[in-house]
């Protein structure tokens, strides 16, 4: 017979006050997590989501805009401890959201603490996020947040964001993230892997790795070794991705900068035994070296076309997504044309494009030769026309192929799915509009692609996998 070690026993596990240093002006929450590892998964998942939405986590209750108490109700002693924790948070802060096992007894909690803002039960993290949004509205900032503004809607249970680091050591002139979020601070590899393992154990089928600068992961930790299972894992993106690729879930890497060591990630994507998807979200921002220098971009001198060719040689199926800025201060027609020519060569699968705008506090505001609005609009339209033509041709080439998709949503008309080439919320979809009735969100199934549009595909269900 075996028993849980003391630190995993629900009645003995100490409450963890989860803390990190918030930046000035961030909406900020305090959190205490009581109880068993399952409760901790919920806490971690709530925190990952809140951090990605731009919330800070306060080291003390007094400095927070509200406090979440994740309770345990396993034994009377645990209930008493949970009630004490709620009481303490009410005294120190006043705005308290209760969740977790004891949340299954809302009347019992309200009898003791009528002033709490909201109560939800165990594993109801979506409702907790609703309560947080109501108590402390998010402050979406497209220049700083890792999720699109629409990302404030709730993440389905079958995929989850996995934040591996915060902040950035670079100083791109158009970006205020280093001022707002501070320097790179990577989580220990075993903490990331533990969170990933728990998410997968709880039904997550796709992990979306996010950070401000994913390729730089671990630099601040000097790529230290971390104990994980029977081995040690280096806090380096290649090692972390290799370990994440052992889980039974798709692993999608976002915000990977084109540093030379990205080459080491590509073999993982080509390895059938590794679940890291052949997908790179890599923000190039521009292709002309002078514009990149004026942006003060990391890897401004990188020979990106050569890198892309090398990646495709190793992993022919790789999908490349990127974002670009047109109309950056000083951008000449020649420089813009270089970007268009580069796109012809690079044939990226997915692109987003923004017209340059000043952002309060960005150093690019002071650069000379800002581009007039009508020129920016014209360049944006020409860029998007090219990107659309590339996307259409690439999708058309998939007609007739048999591929795996993950089901995101089902309604009366169709199952909305994504291929391995599509990240949620930013890329396209594949729709199955016949014989989809028995599918469920999170299923991974095989389809034959039978139609392509500008950004989306349609397919016929072959079989479950
Ligand atoms: S690499 Fe540049 S754009 Fe990205 S977060 Fe850092 S400073 Fe901002």
H-state helical runs in 93-202: 106-112, 125-135, 177-181, 189-201
CA-to-CA separations, 63 to 19, 27, 86, 129, 215, in angstroms, rounded: 11, 10, 16, 20, 33
pLDDT over 90 at 360, yes or no? no
Residue 177 Cβ < 6 Å to ligand 1: yes
How deeply is 412 buried, as exposed, middle or buried, from its count of CB atoms within 10 A (0-12, 13-18, 19+)? Answer: exposed
Q: 274: annotated binding-site residue?
A: no
Q: Who contacts 442 (Cβ-Cβ below 8 Å, separation ≥6)?
A: 156, 157, 158, 203, 205, 406, 407
Q: Probe ligand 1: pick from 163, 177, 179, 184, max atoms within 8 Å of CB?
A: 177
- What pLDDT digit, counting tens, does each position of 131-162 carry? 998 999 877 665 555 554 443 334 567 888 88
Please tell me which of 37-41, 42-46, 166-170, 420-424 the model is most confident about, judged by mean pLDDT: 420-424
Domains of the chain from N-terminus onward:
28-135 (3.40.50.12160), 159-396 (3.80.30.20), 402-464 (2.40.50.140)
Residue 176 CA, closest ligand 1 atom number: 8
**pTM for this predicted structure:** 0.73
**Cα 411 versus chain centre, distance:** 26
Does 299 have pLDDT greater than 80? no
Proportion of the chain above pLDDT 70, given as a percent: 86
Q: Tell whether 417 is in a known binding site.
A: no
Pairing of strands 118-119, 28-33: unpaired
- Residue appearing with tokens 């925190």: 47
Please tell me the distance between residue 82's alpha carbon and the centre of ligand 1 in angstroms: 41
Q: Judge contact between 22 and 63, C-beta under 8 A.
A: yes
Least confident window among 58-72, 233-247, 326-340: 58-72
178 lines ligand 1 (CB under 6 A): yes
Q: Find out whether the beta carbon of 172 lies less than 6 Å from any atom of ligand 1.
A: yes
Nearest-angstrom CA–CA distance, 137 and 256? 30
Instruction: Give the pLDDT band (50/70/90) at residue 54.
Output: confident
Whether the CB of 106 sits within 6 Å of ligand 1: no
Asked if residue 401 lies in contact with residue 344, where contact means CB atoms within 8 angstroms, the answer is no
Average pLDDT in the 341-360 region?
Answer: 90
399, pLDDT greater than 50: yes
Report which protein residue has its CA nearest ligand 1's atom 5. 212
Which CA distances in Å does 396 have to 345, 352, 393, 401, 454?
Answer: 19, 20, 5, 10, 9
Q: Which tops the pLDDT comparison, 296 or 203?
A: 296
Tell whether the model's pLDDT for residue 13 goes beyond 70: no
Ligand 1 pocket member 212 (CB < 6 A): yes
Sole residue written with tokens 């080491």: 264
pLDDT at 246: 96
- Give the per-residue pLDDT at 130: 86
**Separation of CA 20 and ligand 1 centre (Å):** 21
**CA gap 316, 217 in Å, rounded:** 26
Please give the Cα distance from 402 to 157 (Å, whole number): 26
Q: What are phi and psi of 405, to 5 degrees?
A: -135, 155
- C-beta separation of 349 from 279 below 8 A: no
CA 306 – ligand 1 centroid, Å: 23
CA of 328 to the centre of ligand 1 (A): 15
Residue 125 neighbours by CB under 8 Å, 6+ apart? 42, 45, 46, 49, 99
Going from the Cα of 141 to the center of ligand 1, the distance in angstroms, rounded, reads: 14
Q: Which of 145-159, 237-251, 287-301, 375-389 has the lowest mean pLDDT?
A: 145-159
Alpha carbons 90 and 73: distance in angstroms, whole number:
19
Confidence of residue 260 (pLDDT cuts 50, 70, 90): confident
For 273, phi then psi, to 5°, come to -85, 5
Give CA–CA dist 312/318, Å, rounded.
6
For 64-107, how does the pLDDT look when each residue is reduced to its tens digit (9 = 90+)? 899 999 887 666 677 788 899 999 999 999 999 999 888 888 89
């Amino acid at each position: 017979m075996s028993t849980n070690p003391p630190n995993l026993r629900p009645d003995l596990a100490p409450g963890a006050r989860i803390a990190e240093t918030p930046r000035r002006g961030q909406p900020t929450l305090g959190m205490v997590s009581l109880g068993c590892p399952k409760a901790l998964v919920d806490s971690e998942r709530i925190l990952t989501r809140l951090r990605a939405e731009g919330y800070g986590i306060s080291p003390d209750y007094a400095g927070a805009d509200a406090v979440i108490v994740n309770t345990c109700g396993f034994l009377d002693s645990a209930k008493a401890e949970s009630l004490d924790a709620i009481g303490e948070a009410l005294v120190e802060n006043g705005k308290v959201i209760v969740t977790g096992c004891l949340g299954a007894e809302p009347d019992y909690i309200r009898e003791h603490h009528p002033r709490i803002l909201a109560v939800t039960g165990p594993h109801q993290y979506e409702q907790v996020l609703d309560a947080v949004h109501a108590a402390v509205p998010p402050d979406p900032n497209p220049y700083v947040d890792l999720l699109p503004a629409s990302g404030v809607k709730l993440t389905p249970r079958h995929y989850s964001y996995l934040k591996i680091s915060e902040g950035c050591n670079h100083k791109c002139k158009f970006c205020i993230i280093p001022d707002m979020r501070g320097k790179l601070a990577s989580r220990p590899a075993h903490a990331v892997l533990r969170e990933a393992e728990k998410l997968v154990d709880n039904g997550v089928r796709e992990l979306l790795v996010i950070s401000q600068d994913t390729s730089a992961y671990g630099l601040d930790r000097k790529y230290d070794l971390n104990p994980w299972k029977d081995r040690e894992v280096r806090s380096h993106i290649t090692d972390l991705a290799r370990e994440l690729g052992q889980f039974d879930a798709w692993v999608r890497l976002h915000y990977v900068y084109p540093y030379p060591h990205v080459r080491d990630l590509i073999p993982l994507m080509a390895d059938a035994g590794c679940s890291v998807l052949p997908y790179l979200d890599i923000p190039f921002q521009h292709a002309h070296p002078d514009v990149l220098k004026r942006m003060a971009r990391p890897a401004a001198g990188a020979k990106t076309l050569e890198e892309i060719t090398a990646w495709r040689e190793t992993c022919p199926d790789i999908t490349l997504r990127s974002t670009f800025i047109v109309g950056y201060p000083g951008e000449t027609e020649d420089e813009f044309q270089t970007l268009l020519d580069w796109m012809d060569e690079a044939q990226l699968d997915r692109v987003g494009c923004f017209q340059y705008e000043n952002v309060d506090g960005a150093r690019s505001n002071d650069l000379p030769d800002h581009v007039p609005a009508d020129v920016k609009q014209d360049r944006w339209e020409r860029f998007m026309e090219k990107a659309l033509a590339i996307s259409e041709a690439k999708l058309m080439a998939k007609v007739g192929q048999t591929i795996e998709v993950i089901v995101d949503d089902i309604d009366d008309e169709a199952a909305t799915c994504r291929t391995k080439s599509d990240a949620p919320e930013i890329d396209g979809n594949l729709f199955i509009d016949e014989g989809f009735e028995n599918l469920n969100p999170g299923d991974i199934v095989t389809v034959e692609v039978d139609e392509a549009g500008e950004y989306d595909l349609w397919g016929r269900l072959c079989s479950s996998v």
